[in-house]
């Protein structure tokens, strides 16, 4: 006989226990979700037999059950297959496909549409299972691709774990000369230190990072780590970031529930999250998942810029000897280009916070694309300025040969420290003063001066409409002439390749060793001296009337009057520019571009300039 007592007992749960009961699943706690366990019970199945490790008989029995709501059954089957897939074994790959199949069936062929379930925890769980299973399926596809020739067939199909899989790459253009990544890394598996925020978009699909075979710096250097110019090769002046993000979907063939549940064919489609935010699936507009930080963070983490930028400054082996333009995302002809110029002894790492915030801001991401110029900071400013202009000209000519794309108009220039000085030169006009300076101080012949004319006479770089100067020593700094500055300058050597090229420019028919007779060419630290004649002359060049420019300055001590203050390296009097549309002073040291306040100010300027840009014809910017 049944003991006398209540048929139902009640227990009070803490908030933590209640949330875990609703949202915990095989991925988060290593055991089946409460909703799946309940579905097993009402389906008259053995709960113990269906627990991890899951018995294949359980999934077969649940698939055959009638009388249980379709949504409920499909969701439970997806999690049961996921539990099987998480157990190593010969059937693991097939289980990933089954997990995705039942999740896909639940989302698009169940009792309700995704929109009707928008606030349901269960739909979020099923979407996560689908996304995770697709990550694994994509990894299996990569293993197959690595066994194929470099040139993929037009419509590649493979048999994997009993499924016929077709790869559709039309939504993503990978950088480099190969169509096959070296690695596919789940963005969710990457954690970063040194970045304030991680920006992603919740949605449908696996968030992956495609790591391309070429290392981040091989476009600027040879495999031996030395400048490729030493091997009589002229490297490309640009390259695209070699860890682009992608979103991958698995589409089981079929237009209704029955066909999806019985198919063995599927399409794996690859999408560029910078270009696509939604996709139409079975009459539903679905947001695509995306991670905008993971690829950028991985690229920076593996680039080794910190060591190389120091080698470049000192002119040591393994540094760079010419500027290089890095595209932070695939080129888009309809988005304005932001060109970033770092400062002395620095690299693209200087922009980690700013670039990440722009990539993470949906409004800015839809209107701008980022190009970062990496240049050797030991060279004289005049040489770097001319070389950077040339690199940007060639990069723009490659991506927009006709010069008619919107991206080639309304460029934004952002420069920090010495990069700000170079940025100012790029939007300025010269007169004869640099020619006269070269004549007076360089002991050069008229023919030699004519050969270096691009460094002495220039007009504003075409189509820059906005410039932001950050802690820029436009009129130099006294630090460069003090013992610390002179000590630092004494360690700097100009690259032999640069000296040889300069010697050949000045004396075309001279012997290869003629660079030894060039004398004491000033380096970048020399140029930053407040008494340097080049900088003193350049500081008076007029800025183009077509350029709206802004200043962001740092002040280390708020108690010091602004006019007498500095950022530890650059005095206010040197960084201040009359005529700026805005001037923001931030309590900070010289590396103010990394501060949250500076990033917010730059975002404000970009959004305001975006609005102003819509009001003016592109042809007006020259």
Residue ranges covered by each domain of the chain: 20-134, 313-490+543-617
Name the token pair of 276.
């696509």
Yes or no: say if 247 and 131 are a contact pair by the CB < 8 Å rule: no
Residue with the bigger pLDDT between 308 and 512: it is 308
For the chain, percent of residues with pLDDT exceeding 90: 61
- Does residue 507 carry a pLDDT above 60? no
465-323-483 Cα angle (round to 5)? 100
Of 142, 131, 137, 169, the closest CA to residue 153 belongs to 169
- Does residue 55 carry a pLDDT above 70? yes
Distance CA 166, CA 153 (A): 11
What Cα–Cα distance (Å) separates residue 107 from each residue in 175, 259, 279, 342? Answer: 33, 15, 14, 47
**Which segments within 34-175 are labelled E, that is strand?**
157-160, 163-171
Helix (H, G, I), strand (E, B) or coil at 316: coil
What is the dotted CATH code of the domain comprising 313-490+543-617? 3.40.50.1820
169-170-171 Cα angle (round to 5)? 90
Distance CA 406, CA 427 (A): 19
Whose structure tokens read 């009070």? Answer: 12
> Which whole number is the average pLDDT over 267-280?
95
* Banded pLDDT at 56 (limits 50, 70, 90): confident
- Does residue 233 carry a pLDDT above 70? no
pLDDT at 500: 58
* Banded pLDDT at 173 (limits 50, 70, 90): confident
> Which whole number is the average pLDDT over 218-238?
52
pLDDT at 300: 94
Handedness of CA 495, 501, 506, 508 (dihedral sign): positive
What Cα–Cα distance (Å) separates residue 283 from each residue in 71, 261, 280? Answer: 18, 19, 6
> Which whole number is the average pLDDT over 443-462?
80
Which residues, at least 6 apart from 533, have a Cβ–Cβ distance to it below 8 Å?
Answer: 437, 441
pLDDT at 216: 46
DSSP of 454-497, one letter per residue?
A: HHHS--PPTTEEEEEEES--TT-BGGGGSHHHHHHHHT----HH
pLDDT at 272: 95
User: pLDDT tens digit string along 112-149?
Assistant: 999 999 899 999 999 999 999 999 988 888 877 777 66
* Host H or E run for residue 266: strand 265-271
Distance CA 569, CA 479 (A): 6
- Does residue 615 carry a pLDDT above 70? no
pLDDT at 438: 77
pLDDT at 421: 97
pLDDT at 494: 65
pLDDT at 220: 42
Distance CA 392, CA 280 (A): 38
Yes or no: say if 584 and 342 are a contact pair by the CB < 8 Å rule: no
- Does residue 337 carry a pLDDT above 60? yes
């Amino acid at each position: 006989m049944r003991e006398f007592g209540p048929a139902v007992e009640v227990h009070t749960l803490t908030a933590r226990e209640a949330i875990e009961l609703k949202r915990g699943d095989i991925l988060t706690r290593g055991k089946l979700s409460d909703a799946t366990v309940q579905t097993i019970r009402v389906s008259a199945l053995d709960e113990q037999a269906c627990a991890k490790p899951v018995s294949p008989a359980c999934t077969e029995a649940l698939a055959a059950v009638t009388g249980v709501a379709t949504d409920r059954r499909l969701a439970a089957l997806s999690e049961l297959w996921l539990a099987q897939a998480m157990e190593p074994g010969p059937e693991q790959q097939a289980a990933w496909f089954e997990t995705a199949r039942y999740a896909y069936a639940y989302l698009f062929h169940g009792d309700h549409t995704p929109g009707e379930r928008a606030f349901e925890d269960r739909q979020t769980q099923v979407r996560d299972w689908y996304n995770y299973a697709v990550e694994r399926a994509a990894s299996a596809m990569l293993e197959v691709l690595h066994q194929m020739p470099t040139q993929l067939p037009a419509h590649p199909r493979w048999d994997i774990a009993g499924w016929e899989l077709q790869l559709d790459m039309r939504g993503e253009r990978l950088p480099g000369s190969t169509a096959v990544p070296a690695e596919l890394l789940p963005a969710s598996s990457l954690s970063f230190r040194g970045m304030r925020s991680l920006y992603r978009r919740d949605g449908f699909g696996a968030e992956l990072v495609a790591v391309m075979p070429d290392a981040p710096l091989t476009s600027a250097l040879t495999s031996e780590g030395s400048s490729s110019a030493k091997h009589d090769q002229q490297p490309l002046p640009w390259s695209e970031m070699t860890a682009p993000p992608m979103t991958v979907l698995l589409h089981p063939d079929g237009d209704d529930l029955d066909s999806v549940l019985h198919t063995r064919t599927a399409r794996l489609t690859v999408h560029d999250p910078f270009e696509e935010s939604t996709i139409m699936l079975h009459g539903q507009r679905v947001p695509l998942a995306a991670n905008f930080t993971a690829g950028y963070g991985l690229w920076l983490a593996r680039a080794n810029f910190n060591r190389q930028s120091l080698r470049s400054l000192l002119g040591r082996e393994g540094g760079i000897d010419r500027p290089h333009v890095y595209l932070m995302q695939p080129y888009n002809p309809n988005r304005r280009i932001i060109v970033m110029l770092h400062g002395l002894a620095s690299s693209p790492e200087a922009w980690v916070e700013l670039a990440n915030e722009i990539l993470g801001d949906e409004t800015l991401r839809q209107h701008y694309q980022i190009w970062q110029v990496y240049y050797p900071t030991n060279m004289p400013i005049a040489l770097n300025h001319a070389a950077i202009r040339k690199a940007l000209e060639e990069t723009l000519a490659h991506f927009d040969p006709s010069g008619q794309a919107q991206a080639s108009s309304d460029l934004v220039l952002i420069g920090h420290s010495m990069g700000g000085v170079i940025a100012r030169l790029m939007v300025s006009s010269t007169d004869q003063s640099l020619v006269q300076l070269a004549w007076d101080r360089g002991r050069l012949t008229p023919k030699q001066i004519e050969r270096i004319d691009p460094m002495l006479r220039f007009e504003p770089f075409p189509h820059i409409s906005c410039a932001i100067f950050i802690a820029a020593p436009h009129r130099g700094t006294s630090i460069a002439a003090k013992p610390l500055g002179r000590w630092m300058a004494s360690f700097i050597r100009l690259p032999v390749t640069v000296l040889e090229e300069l010697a050949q420019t000045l004396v075309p028919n001279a012997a290869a060793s003629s660079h030894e007779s060039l004398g004491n060419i000033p380096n970048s630290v020399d140029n930053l001296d407040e008494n340097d004649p080049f900088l003193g002359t350049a500081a008076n060049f007029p800025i183009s009337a077509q350029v709206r420019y802004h200043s962001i300055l740092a002040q280390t001590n708020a108690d010091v009057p602004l006019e007498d203050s500095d950022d530890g390296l650059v005095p206010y009097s040197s960084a201040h520019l009359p005529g700026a549309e805005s001037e923001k002073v931030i309590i900070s040291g010289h590396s103010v571009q990394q501060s949250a306040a500076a990033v917010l100010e730059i975002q404000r300027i970009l959004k305001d300039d975006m609005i102003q840009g819509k009001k003016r014809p592109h042809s007006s910017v020259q």
